[in-house]
Amino acid sequence: MKIEFKKFIFTFAICIFLLSNWSFGKDTENNIEDIDINSRSCVVLDRKSKTILFGKNENKQVKMASTTKIMTAIVIIENYDLNKEITVSKKAAGTGGSRLGLRTGDKITVHDLLYGLLLRSGNDAAVALAETVGGSIEGFAELMNQKAKELNLKNTHFESPHGLDSDGHYTTAYELALITDYALQNSTFAKIVGTKNYTITINGYPKALTNTNELLGNLNGVYGVKTGFTNGANRCLVSSCKRGDMDIICVVLGADTKNFRTQDSIKLIEYAFENYEYVNIKEIADKELSTLRNKYSSSFFVDKGISNKISFEISNIDTPILPIKKDLVGNITTESFLNTNLIAPVHKDEILGYIKIVSNNNVIANFDIICKSEISKRSVIDYLKLFMQRTPQIFEEPL
């Protein structure tokens, strides 16, 4: 009954908050500067395109507290048997801060430790996992940094599996969003962070856990991910949210209070869904390509070439669908150029021109126009044959 009442109160508070702040997406012409964010740094990342929809100090190196455990979990999941039971060390059991409540000698599976790590945010669970997989906190940190390097992260460095404050332990809001996006591609990780309540087993006895993520189950579309707090990092929250086709990650770091981190997260999530929609830029480029074909396919001249027949396509791009501000979708235009005067030889995959997708005078996508033909340069024999074809017969057949 108490849990249901708390959920009702939280949901009611969110509704009041949204109503009182509804104007930020309605009457301000959707200017991101009008969103009042308490958090020191934040980012909203579109998962499909990896486009930043909103950012504040998103590339600044900052402490990230227990959101560190996102990387901890993915390193464990990718490198160890989750069904294996381990014995908790004295060092792990003595770890301070947020705790699962482990004691020296406790027996628990790696699988259940992951739930204790991500739902309860247990620092003791983090150390137990790190010692199991990395041999020590330092050894596990090396694995974390190796993974960061694999993900091409330039402003992230780990010194622990739990995220307690240390000068050499930092990330950025943007790179934390990238870590989260990668982790969510793992079904085991996604299932754990999307779980509101779970019962683990320690020494054969059940222990009920509740996720510390206040938005999970209370805000439409939220399906993860992780909370965090230390004195150095302040309040942190990484959220993933999907509504319809749009899928985003919201990171807020350095909020003064839990209420501020919650409010900032809601503001940013609602901003993204209120102001953006997906546009298939590949379809727009294909339409422009069709226009170019109709106009220029028979207009090519290949100087010194054996043929003037050229076929062409547009290059592939990693993200054919992009999130665009709704008020700019109607202003999308195309710019194109196609070089129809060529000099042989012309090689397959040679760039002949481009198609640019433009919105509000900004280029949002650029497609190369690629030659799909191979046109050789005429040889002496080719010129001789051409000469013979164009020269009238000197001798006539006898009567």
Where helices occur in the chain by DSSP H, the ranges are 2-20, 69-79, 90-93, 110-118, 123-134, 137-150, 173-184, 187-193, 258-275, 281-296, 380-390
Catalytic residue (choose from 56, 63, 69, 282): 69
pLDDT at 363: 93
Distance CA 9, CA 211 (A): 17
Asked about 336 being catalytic, the answer comes back as no
pLDDT at 28: 32
Paired tokens of 260: 């501020």
273-327 per-position pLDDT tens digit: 999 999 999 999 999 999 999 999 899 999 999 999 999 999 988 889 999 999 9
Give 386's contacts (C-beta < 8 A, 6+ positions apart): 378
Average pLDDT on 341-363 reads: 94
pTM: 0.85
Q: Is the pLDDT of residue 55 over 80?
A: yes
What value does the mean pLDDT of the chain take? Answer: 91
Average pLDDT on 247-269 reads: 98
Average pLDDT on 145-159 reads: 98
366-393 per-position pLDDT tens digit: 999 999 999 999 876 766 776 677 665 5
Catalytic residue (choose from 41, 98, 121, 359): 121
Distance CA 128, CA 110 (A): 9
Give 360's pLDDT tier (boundaries 50, 70, 90). Answer: confident
Domains of the chain: 28-256 (3.40.710.10), 279-382 (2.60.410)
Asked about 66 being catalytic, the answer comes back as yes
Average pLDDT on 1-10 reads: 52
Give 176's pLDDT tier (boundaries 50, 70, 90). Answer: very high
Percentage of residues in the chain with pLDDT exceeding 70? Answer: 88
Q: Would you say 243 and 221 are in contact if contact means Cβ atoms under 8 Å apart?
A: yes
Q: What is the DSSP letter of 215?
A: T
pLDDT at 30: 37
pLDDT at 9: 53
Catalytic residue (choose from 66, 98, 265, 359): 66
Average pLDDT on 70-83 reads: 98
Distance CA 148, CA 252 (A): 20
Q: Is the pLDDT of residue 173 over 70?
A: yes
pLDDT at 189: 98
Tell me the C-alpha to C-alpha distance, in Å, between residue 344 and each of 97, 277, 303, 350, 390: 71, 45, 6, 12, 22
What's the CA angle centered on 304, arms 301 and 310, to 5 degrees? 40
